[in-house]
Structure 1
Amino acid sequence: MAVTSPTFRLRAPWRGVVAVLAAALLAAAPAGARAQPKPTVKQLKKELATLQKESDKLITDYYNSRIAHQKAEKAEKSAREKLTAAQEIYDENSTELRAMAIAQYTGTEPSQVAMLTGPQDPSALLGRMALVQHLVALQDARLRGFAKVRDDRQQAQDEAAARAGDLDRTVGELESRKKKAERQIERIRDKIDQLYKAPGLRPDGTFVPQLPQGADHITPRMALVKQLIQERFEVPYGIGCYRAIQDGGEHPLGRACDFMLSRGGAMPTAEELKRGDEIANWAIKNAKRLGIMYVIYRQRIWHVSSGAWRTMSDRGGTTANHYDHPHISVY
């Protein structure tokens, strides 16, 4: 009969203690040290619903800001028009006052002193006095009228400045709320992307090879990437995938697509280049989940195994160097 060794008898009681200690240590480990479970489709949909509700509120705020901005634009335009009209009246009255002052200074208008020191016929003197009073009253009226014109112009200036300030404020608010809504929409897009899983994913993270299918002769995995990019970005110059030329790449295998940013080999605009960057960055962000193997763009290649961009040799042209399109290959 086999005899249990003394060593075994001494160590066996400690097995339970070790197990308990291990469980306690695992429970005490910080949350970051344990792998977080991947969210289920149900959880993702619940989070998506919350994000969409918040998005609706942000879009409503943005809409209200647009209305306020439009009202501010109209008020500012009206204030500018009023100021222009007030300035014209002010300039006209200023010219008249200057002409009156010059006339009095140079004596081209009847001198009030001369009228009073002329012939002393009583009736004539009374008539001259009445005329002087009339001229004085006329001048007073002109001065009072000019004062009102001046005050109206100042009021129009103040109103125009206030309306311009309101317009600047609404522009700032509109831009701020627009950015908030855009960020929220981007979060929704990311959450929607997570609802899709690349077909053929093994438990160990590798991908089962697939055959091309459908009218465009690409694999289901490539078709999913193509669909998501089409839904998320504008690709106005077309998407080229399968081609029969055996060049050592994935195009003949139905595992690659080119997302064109321009036509005929022309260098894309700055805006289109930015869109190409966005497509490439999206592909990198979702590479492991969607089975994307590498991305080529602007004479650089990014491979999932290295996780970094590497410069490629010059192939001699805009298209050959992938400046007019990001190229995406899947496993």
Structure 2
Amino acid sequence: MAVASSADRRRGPLRARTTAAFTGLTAGFVVALSLLMPATAGHADPKPSVKQLEKELAELGKESDKLIEDYYHGRREQQKAEKAEKAAREKLEAAQQVYDRESTQLRAMAVSEYIGGRPSHLTLIADSGQYTSTMSRMALSEFLVSQQEARLSGFARVRDEHERAQREAADRAKELDATADDIDERRKKAEKLIEKIKDKIDQLHKAPGRRSDGTFLPQLPGGSDNITPRMRLVKTLIEKRFDVPFGIGCYRAIQDGGQHPLGRACDFMLSRGGMMPTAAEIERGHEISEWAIKNARRLGIMYVIYRQRIWHVSTGGWRVMTDRGGTTANHYDHPHISVY
């Protein structure tokens, strides 16, 4: 029967904890995905009601929360492993310094004995790096013998500590790598499920005033924000799905020939004061634009403008717009969304 090494015994507890955590994670993820899988051909269920979809969303939300909780638990485990690995590395460095110092002193003693004509096993120890408990003491004084034995004993302890520190550092590094891989996989699963939840939420909503042929009835603006119900739905969904910290501008009284005075357009700002957005905010603008295009026909979105380009639902694809002379005028600091 194979005997487990000391390294395997040290890794055992961490591996057991990781396995237990991932067993629960995998089970939860399978349940969540089963809610999203379509029925097989020939056994299609009736179209779910809004109440059923809301129930599914609630279950998915619980699974998502569990995945996130497991993810942060993994992060804490990683931080512990990083701390232990750092301590082991520092311990190894300290042991190496002592090891080098003791080796130098031991070699000096061996050389001194050799020059003095008193060869012993100490000379062989210094040259080969091997250790022995037997020495030829016949030609040495009692004082030198005791001095050598004390030095050899100390050197052996340093050597053993040095080897233990090396093994511990290697074990911690392996644990750290395994934990990091587990966390990355957990994060990807959580993000995938969260995205499915968000898509499911979007599917619950249809643009008001849609005719059976896919066209849309005209709507009047209303409410304190002076926008149409269709525009308000799009604005609300984007606010829930994306963080828009620099504000959303919709109704404008100025008659410029656009959709703002009609309450059918909103600007989702990525910066303030006409400043060029950061790289992260530019990416957020792309995400908002892509979401609008993906949901355009269902939500009654007519066109999207972003970064001096326009996408129209009737033609599809982006086309470049003429230069209007500024960051905001060219929509570099915000996506513009107009609805029917």
Give 1:284's match in structure 2, choosing from 283, 293, 310: 293
Cα distance in 2 for residues equivalent to 1:165 and 1:313: 57
Say which is worse superposed, 276-285 or 237-246, in terms of deviation: 237-246
Q: 1:222 to 1:271 in 2, by over 3 A?
A: same
Q: Which structure is larger by alpha-carbon Rg, 1 or 2?
A: 1
Specify the SS of the correspondent of 1:225: helix
Q: Match of 2:5?
A: none
In the TM superposition, what whole-angstrom CA distance separates every residue of 1:10-68 from its partner, at most 9, and x where no partner exists?
xxxxxxxxxxxxxxxxxxxxx69xxx986532442243244334324423432432232
Residue 262 of structure 1 pairs with residue 277 of structure 2? no
Work out whether residues 112 and 132 of structure 1, in 8 Å CA contact, stay in contact via their aligned partners in 2.
Answer: no
Q: Match of 1:271?
A: 280
Work out whether residues 306 and 331 of structure 2, in 8 Å CA contact, stay in contact via their aligned partners in 1.
Answer: yes
Say which is worse superposed, 86-95 or 230-239, in terms of deviation: 86-95
Q: Match of 1:221?
A: 230
Specify the SS of the correspondent of 1:325: coil
Specify the SS of the correspondent of 1:237: coil
What are the residue-to-residue correspondences of 1:52-131 with 2, within 5 Å? 52-104=61-113
Work out whether residues 233 and 279 of structure 1, in 8 Å CA contact, stay in contact via their aligned partners in 2.
Answer: yes
Q: 1:38 to 1:312 in 2, by over 3 A?
A: farther
What are the residue-to-residue correspondences of 1:111-190 with 2, within 5 Å? 132-190=141-199
How many residues are treated as equivalent by the alignment? 283
Identical columns (%):
72
Q: 1:266 to 1:105 in 2, by over 3 A?
A: farther
Residue 203 of structure 1 pairs with residue 212 of structure 2? yes
Letter in 2 for 1:301: I
| Runs of 4+ with >6 A deviation | none
TM-score (norm 1): 0.77
* C-alpha RMSD over aligned residues: 2.7
Work out whether residues 44 and 194 of structure 1, in 8 Å CA contact, stay in contact via their aligned partners in 2.
Answer: no
Q: Match of 1:301?
A: 310
User: Structure 2: 5+ residue runs without aligned partners?
Assistant: 1-40, 120-137
Q: Match of 1:47?
A: 56
Give 2:332's match in structure 1, choosing from 318, 323, 328: 323
In the TM superposition, what whole-angstrom CA distance separates every residue of 1:128-162 from its partner, at most 9, and x where no partner exists?
x8971330232133123212212211210121121
**1:223 Cα offset (Å):** 1.2
Cα distance in 1 for residues equivalent to 2:213 and 2:187: 42
**1:178 Cα offset (Å):** 0.9
TM-score (norm 2): 0.75
Work out whether residues 79 and 159 of structure 1, in 8 Å CA contact, stay in contact via their aligned partners in 2.
Answer: yes
Cα distance in 2 for residues equivalent to 1:230 and 1:295: 17
Cα distance in 1 for residues equivalent to 2:251 and 2:69: 44
Letter in 2 for 1:316: G
Q: Match of 1:23?
A: none
Letter in 2 for 1:93: E
Letter in 1 for 2:235: K
